[in-house]
Amino acid sequence: MNAARLATALPPDFVAITTDSVTEPFWQAAKQRRLVAPQCADCATFRLPPTPFCPECLSTTVDWPELSGRAIVYSFAVVHSFPGLPDVTLVPAVVELPDAPGARLVTNVIDIEPEQVRIGMELIVDFHPISDGWLLPVFRKAEE
């Protein structure tokens, strides 16, 4: 019988990011272990991924409020092994952020048996090291 593998994130050297003026505030906040989301300063629409202008009113002004870190699983998949990493099990997920209505984030659910992940499950943010000293927002099952 195979031992259940907990879902994990990819090793740091497997994830690299690039930033620009639109995405830099998100990544700088993550480096400080804070989850933020871009919100239009004119109409208050949240948008993830970050975009140079608001999809609702086309404004280019943006605020970056800090969120609580809570999330809800909207959709997910289970990946058993990854090229070059046969012992890795990933649970990539799309999560809704209750503090940022309408915003969804693509992430990973970690430290859980994949069979336990469910749509609607409550999660809490954590941060996983990736290349070049950046931190990647990932999520764990919220305490009940």
Phi (first) and psi of residue 107, to 5 degrees: -155, -165
The per-residue pLDDT of the chain, averaged, comes to: 94
Q: In whole angstroms, what is the distance from residue 42 CA to residue 55 CA?
A: 12
Q: Which amino acid is at 6?
A: L
Residue 3 scores a pLDDT above 60: no
125 forms bridges with which residues in the sheet? Answer: 139
Quick one: pLDDT at residue 66?
A: 98
Q: Is the dihedral of CA 52, 58, 62, 67 positive or negative?
A: negative
Residues 19-32 have a mean pLDDT of 95
Q: Is the dihedral of CA 113, 32, 49, 10 positive or negative?
A: negative
The pLDDT tens digits for 57-98 are 999 999 999 999 999 999 999 999 888 888 899 999 999 999
3-state helix, strand, coil in the chain (%, to 5): 10, 35, 55
Contact 125, 139 (CB under 8 A): yes
Contact 90, 6 (CB under 8 A): no
Single pTM value for the model: 0.91
Quick one: pLDDT at residue 75?
A: 98
Quick one: pLDDT at residue 1?
A: 36
pLDDT band at 31 (very low <50, low <70, confident <90, very high): very high
Residue 144 scores a pLDDT above 90: no
Q: In whole angstroms, what is the distance from residue 39 CA to residue 8 CA?
A: 30
Q: In whole angstroms, what is the distance from residue 48 CA to residue 51 CA?
A: 7
Quick one: pLDDT at residue 5?
A: 87
Quick one: pLDDT at residue 50?
A: 92
Q: Which residue has the higher pLDDT, 144 or 87?
A: 87
Hunting for tokens 């499950």 — which residue is that?
121
Q: What is the 3-state secondary structure (H, E, C) of 41-63?
A: CCCCCECCCCCCCCCCCCCCCEE
